[in-house]
Chain A
Amino acid sequence: SQTIHQWPATLVQPVGSPLSLECTVEGTSNPNLYWYRQAAGRGLQLLFYSVGIGQISSEVPQNLSASRPQDRQFILSSKKLLLSDSGFYLCAWRAGESEQYFGPGTRLTVT
């Protein structure tokens, strides 16, 4: 069966510090992968998606970037965090036509 991992689970970082969040998927090959951010009490904002190694599409201009160095690895990064980057970050992979399966998420607080 397929499993999706995210780490860390919780992160507190000062403004201006770098960020690296990692997502890995097990049990499938060449998945479509997604990064979302969820603000408190809100829906999901798509940040990036990837259809293959090295292929990244950005949905929202911001100081975040994403990379896909391996088939089942998706990384979200920032060189300098802003207060507005705080939120719940979710990685997902797509199965079938449109349904997505989400990881446990990383709760990021920028202070």
Chain B
Amino acid sequence: QKEVEQDPGPLSVPEGAIVSLNCTYSNSAFQYFMWYRQYSRKGPELLMYTYSSGNKEDGRFTAQVDKSSKYISLFIRDSQPSDSATYLCAMSRNAGKSTFGDGTTLTVKP
């Protein structure tokens, strides 16, 4: 079993929809939780970073971490065609190595 499981998708939504992207994990020692966005043929870019449980909001993006359920989510409000990309969750126990999910590919249709 993988340490990090990500909803595989692909996901296709109309412009303006609310998108929910999710990951589950098995290692209760994870403390740092990240979401990356990767456009086709580009390197991933850091979107959100959260330490421990709770919510974090940045514009149209909200990251949620529920450590009791070992479940993290990324919500995108008012989705735009420019949000079309692959989203990777990542997590780590301490400063250093991260474990990544396999990614969910999102398409936002105009």
Using a CB–CB distance below 8 Å, which chain A residues touch chain B? 32, 34, 41-44, 46, 49, 59, 88, 90, 92, 94, 96-105, 107
Contact of A90 with B95 in the complex, beta carbons under 8 Å: no
Q: Specify which of B32, B43, B92, B96 lies most central, judged by the most chain A CB atoms within 10 Å of its CB.
A: B43
Contact of A98 with B49 in the complex, beta carbons under 8 Å: yes
Q: Which residues of chain B are within 8 angstroms of A100 by Cβ–Cβ distance?
A: 34, 46, 90, 98
Tell me the nearest residue of chain B to A99, going by C-beta: B49
From B34, B45, B100, contact of A43 by CB (8 A):
B100
Q: Which residues of chain B are within 8 angstroms of A59 by Cβ–Cβ distance?
A: 97
Closest 3 CB pairs of A and B: A102-B43, A98-B32, A43-B102
> For this complex, into which size category does the number of interface residues on chain B fall?
20 to 34
Contact of B95 with A94 in the complex, beta carbons under 8 Å: yes
Contact of B41 with A107 in the complex, beta carbons under 8 Å: yes
Residues A49 and B97 in contact in the complex (CB < 8 Å), given A97-B51, A104-B43: yes
Q: Which residues of chain A are within 8 angstroms of B6 by Cβ–Cβ distance?
A: 43
Q: Which residues of chain A are within 8 angstroms of B98 by Cβ–Cβ distance?
A: 46, 98, 100
Contact of B42 with A44 in the complex, beta carbons under 8 Å: no
Residues A97 and B88 in contact in the complex (CB < 8 Å), given A42-B102, A44-B100, A90-B44: no
CB distance from A105 to the nearest CB of B (A): 5
Contact of A32 with B88 in the complex, beta carbons under 8 Å: no
Q: Which residues of chain B are within 8 angstroms of A42 by Cβ–Cβ distance?
A: 102-103
